[in-house]
Amino acid sequence: MAKTAPIRVQSTCPHDCPSVCALEVEKLDEQTIGRIYGAKGNSYTSGTLCAKVGNYAERVHHPGRLTKPLRRTGSKGVGLEAFAEISWEEALDEVSDRFKELSKKYGNETIWPHFYAGTMGLVQRDGIERLRHAMGYSRQHSTICSAASDAGWKVGTGVKRGVDAREIGEHSDVVVLWGTNAVHTQVNLMHHVSQACKRNAKLVVVDPYRNATAKRADLHIMLQPGSDGALAATLMHVLLKEGLADREYLAEYTDFSVELEVHLEGKTPEWGEAITGVSAATIIEFARLIGQNPKSYYRFGYGFTRSRNGAFNMHAASCLPAITGAWKYKGGGALYSNAELFKLDKTLIVGSDVIDRNTRVLDQSRIGEILSGNPIDLQGGPPITGLLIQNTNPMMVSPSSLKVKKGFERNDLFVCVHEQFMTDTAAMADIVLPATTFLEHEDIYIAGGHTFLQVAKPVIKPYADARPNHYVICELSKRLGAEHPGFEMSTWELIEETLNRSGFPSAEEIYKNNWLDCARDFEEAHFLNGFETPDKKFHFSPDWSRLGKVNTSMPEFPDHYSVTDKKSNTKPYRLVTAPARQFLNSSFTETPTSQRREGRPTAKIHSDTCESLDLEDGGVVRVGNDQASVLVHVEVYDNLQKDVVIVESIWPNQNFIEGIGINSLVSSDPGHGIGGAVFHDTAVWLRREESQTA
């Protein structure tokens, strides 16, 4: 008898990624899935899906999934054997009793609900904010990912949206992927890029190393990390000088001024070459390509904003489609993120109606300093003595990870972690709660990379005793006495009411139609009705103070803003910790296929550098700075500048030879502007290590 194919159930990928893929999940029975596919019917996902999510059965059915609430009975950092199983009632009671005790002693700001985007589902990700606000716990400035890039983009355009990426395939003549390794981090974008390349569109990649995306480029701009502002200013210089700027567009849609033009006169290709390390001729070639092809589409990523000058550089790069008037054309313009396209009223989910603006706001990326009691970070408030963590793994992903570890080791710190796995962070907790995956709970999703709103229902039953984030937040609210209508609603009711308040169709209707396309019309999407700044113009000379906290030393016009961690005689190399293909931040580091395909952590180093330091492929190098040193295997890699080192990330700390991970080297200095972690902005030294071999 012919075997029938398993049924496929629609869902949405919840992981922290611009693609937010529409999925088809093979359902084998009530508990089990088979393979996952990208939905063919979705015109952005287009049936493309990354390998790690295709193999999701390995993650959701992983033997390491947490099954029961746990109380730590042994030492911190050991893992499962240091914990004993308890009931949900006991666990939730203990967390709320301890939080009440600590609040009584220090005030409510002593508790820090710490979260990020382990799931991008709005209910399961952001519900922790409602508990925070209803209780007056310490607030969080989310700086680990998009603070710098948001600031740099919005200061020019006024709003976090851009041109629909589906225009690329049919209409763009040039595609510029700037500081995004799309093959690793948002592979479906490459489907649209390939369509364009079939029509002979040219692909330009701006990245310090020839990564998987740059390998596909017609022109790879292999610049020094942190030099994007200089590159953008030089390109503008050439465009103006060669008559390739769109003067009419500049006059109508921007604040372009004589002063800016005079400023750019000095940004010659030779000036640019000295800073970026890219030859003047190559910069001119790039300028001519975008100047002679106004249907140029810029996809700006996050990578180049993870520097002290990252926000500034994002703004500088975002000036290019304005100089050439690319915004005017179908297939022209730019996208950084569409997150503000959707305009959902999230009040019920995040409890924004009960925020006490007097409570302090802690910088997420400075968790090491905060837990160590740095008075500046604590802003005159009490120490953090209670942490509730969902959706993030700060022991692995945060800057200055040795400081973070020291903070978690404090004996007077009470930590509850709600997780799917015994992560490095969960291993430091007092109470661990088992969490469902997206296949086991409901949620609603918007996207950065496309225009679809999606609603998802569970595909399978919750694993063992795992429960969703919404359950934990509501149960704690009861015990802590937090009040808000959102605590009284089911996940589905929250989704329904959020959609209702935002003027969208019902959740059932959106689910029935698989998704809702929220794309704006051509004029709106291309800002031809004006940008969303106060005077509706694009700003070359932006008012950074509109974003709140300002750094007054920020130059007025696009330029090289020289505030990065500079090379010196003692630290002559620049380290970039770019994402690995088979992992997603710290997620998927547990799945066997991802581990096998990644192999082991390596430092990509130029062969001339290897020769001068007597390093060999497969040998071992010590990479260090004033914070730490990390021992890692050498990978000879010629496609980068000689003073640049790449360690693709984020490998678990224990996978490094001495158990010290790459984020030990990353500074927790905030990026200039409104902050932002500086993962790709680190000066280091390299040393051959005699005692270790491959």
Interface residues toward ligand MGD, by CB under 6 A? 16-17, 116-119, 124, 144-145, 178-181, 184-185, 206-209, 211, 225-226, 228, 301-304, 306-307, 390-393, 397, 418-421, 423, 435, 469, 576-581, 583-587, 649-650, 662-663, 666, 679-680
**Tokens representing 652?**
């678990």
Which H or E run includes 576? strand 573-576
Which DSSP state fits 505? Answer: P
State which residue, 209 or 511, has the beta carbon closest to ligand MGD.
209
Q: Considering just the CA atoms, what is the radius of gyration of the chain in Å?
A: 25
Residue 420 or 609 having the CB closest to ligand MGD: 420
Enter the tokens of residue 678: 């500086």
Instruction: Write down the least CB distance from residue 149 to ligand MGD, Å.
Output: 8
| Beta-carbon contacts of residue 89 (< 8 Å; ≥ 6 apart) | none
Element (H, E) at 239: helix 228-241
Distance between CA atoms of 671 and 681, rounded to whole angstroms?
A: 10
Identity of the residue, 12 or 254, whose beta carbon is nearer to ligand MGD in the bound complex = 12
Give 215's contacts (C-beta < 8 A, 6+ positions apart): none
Nearest-angstrom CA–CA distance, 156 and 152: 7
- How far apart (Å, rounded) are the C-alpha atoms in residues 282 and 621? 33
Of residues 527 and 651, the one with the C-beta less far from ligand MGD: 651
Pairing of strands 32-38, 22-29: antiparallel
132/184 with CB nearer ligand MGD: 184
Which listed option, ligand MGD, Mo ion, none, makes contact with residue 256 (CB within 5 to 8 Å by class)? Answer: none
Dist CA 658 CA 680 (whole Å): 22
Say which entry of Mo ion, ligand MGD, none residue 527 contacts (CB below 5 to 8 A, set by partner kind). none
Name the minimum Å distance from CB 103 to ligand MGD: 23
Query: Which one, of 651, 653, 666, lies nearest residue 585 by Cα?
Result: 651
Nearer to ligand MGD, 122 or 250 (CB): 122
Residue (291 or 310) nearer to ligand MGD, CB: 310
For 608-677, the DSSP string reads HHHHHHT--TTSEEEEE-SS-EEEEEEEE--SB-TTEEE--B---GGGSTTS--GGGSS--PPPTTT---
* Residue 132 binding result from ligand MGD, Mo ion, none, given CB thresholds of 5 to 8 Å by partner type: none
Taken in order 93, 382, 405, 127, is the CA torsion positive or negative?
positive
Q: Are 349 and 126 in contact (CB under 8 A)?
A: yes
What is the per-residue DSSP string for 595-620? HHHH-S-EEEE-HHHHHHHT--TTSE
Binding partner selected for residue 222 from Mo ion, ligand MGD, none, CB under the kind-specific 5 to 8 Å limit: none
Q: Shortest approach of ligand MGD to residue 470 CB, angstroms?
A: 10
CB 183, min distance to ligand MGD, A: 9
- Residue 130 interacts with, from Mo ion, ligand MGD, none (CB under 5-8 Å by kind): none
Query: Of these partners, ligand MGD, Mo ion, none, which one is at the site of residue 454 (CB under 5 to 8 Å by kind)?
Result: none
Size of the site for Mo ion (CB under 5 A): 1
Return the one option of ligand MGD, Mo ion, none that residue 60 interacts with (CB less than 5 to 8 A, by type): none
Of 328 and 604, which CB lies nearer to ligand MGD in the complex structure? Answer: 604
Shortest spacing between CB 16 and Mo ion, in angstroms: 5
* Closest distance of CB 214 from ligand MGD, Å: 8
Enumerate helices (H) and strands (E) in the chain, giving the number of each.
26, 25
From the list 87-95, 108-116, 137-145, 564-572, the region that binds Mo ion by CB under 5 A is 137-145
Q: Return the axis-axis angle of helices 280-292 and 269-276, rounded to nearest 10°.
A: 120
Strand positions, DSSP E, 199-260: 202-206, 219-221
Length of the chain: 694
Q: Give the shortest CB-118-to-ligand MGD separation in angstroms.
A: 2
The distance of closest approach from Cβ of residue 626 to ligand MGD in the complex, given in angstroms and rounded to an integer, is: 18
In the bound complex, what is the minimum distance in angstroms from residue 607's beta carbon to ligand MGD? 19
3-state secondary structure of 476: helix
DSSP SS3 for 480: helix
Interface mask toward Mo ion for 95-134; x: CB under 5 A: ----------------------------------------
Residues 141-160 touching Mo ion, rule: CB under 5 A, are: 145
Place of tokens 């529409």: 22
Instruction: Using CB positions, name the residue nearest to Mo ion.
Output: 145
Minimal distance in Å, beta carbon 440 to ligand MGD? 9
CB of 18 to Mo ion, least distance (A): 9
Q: Which partner, Mo ion, ligand MGD, none, binds residue 206 by CB below 5 to 8 Å per kind?
A: ligand MGD
* In contact, 381 and 359? CB cutoff 8 Å: no
To the nearest whole angstrom, how small is the minimum distance from the Cβ of residue 416 to ligand MGD? 11
The residue ranges of DSSP E strands in 116-256, in sequence order, are 139-141, 174-178, 202-206, 219-221
427: helix, strand or coil:
helix
Q: Which lies closer to ligand MGD via its Cβ, residue 531 or residue 583?
A: 583
Q: Which is nearer to ligand MGD, 250 or 397 (CB)?
A: 397
The distance of closest approach from Cβ of residue 421 to ligand MGD in the complex, given in angstroms and rounded to an integer, is 5
Question: Can residue 92 be called a binding residue for Mo ion (CB under 5 A)?
Answer: no
List the single partner that 390 binds among ligand MGD, Mo ion, none, CB under 5 to 8 Å by kind.
ligand MGD
**Sign (positive/negative) of CA torsion 404, 410, 412, 416?**
positive
The answer for 654, left when phi > 0, alpha when psi is -120 to 50, beta otherwise, is: alpha
Which neighbouring-strand residues pair with 389? 114, 417
Nearer to Mo ion, 145 or 634 (CB): 145
Evaluated on CA atoms 538, 541, 543, 549, the torsion sign reads positive
Task: Compare residues 250 and 584 and give the one whose CB is closer to ligand MGD.
Answer: 584
CB closer to ligand MGD, 65 vs 537: 65
* Residue closer to ligand MGD (CB basis): 347 or 639: 639
Distance in Å, CB of 427 to ligand MGD, minimum? 12
Piece in contact with Mo ion (CB under 5 A), picked from 140-148, 202-210, 436-444, 651-659: 140-148
| Per CB under 5 A, 20 contacts Mo ion | no
Residue 367 binds which one of Mo ion, ligand MGD, none, with CB within 5 to 8 A depending on kind?
A: none
With CB under 5 A as the contact rule, which of the stretches 139-147, 319-327, 402-410, 493-501 interacts with Mo ion?
139-147
Q: Which does residue 372 bind out of ligand MGD, Mo ion, none, counting CB within 5 to 8 angstroms by kind?
A: none
Closer residue to ligand MGD in complex, CB, 212/547: 212
Q: DSSP characters for 405-420?
A: HHHHT-TT-EEEEEES
Quote the least distance from Cβ 51 to ligand MGD, whole Å: 9
Kind and range of the H or E run holding 35: strand 32-38
* Site residues for Mo ion per CB under 5 A: 145
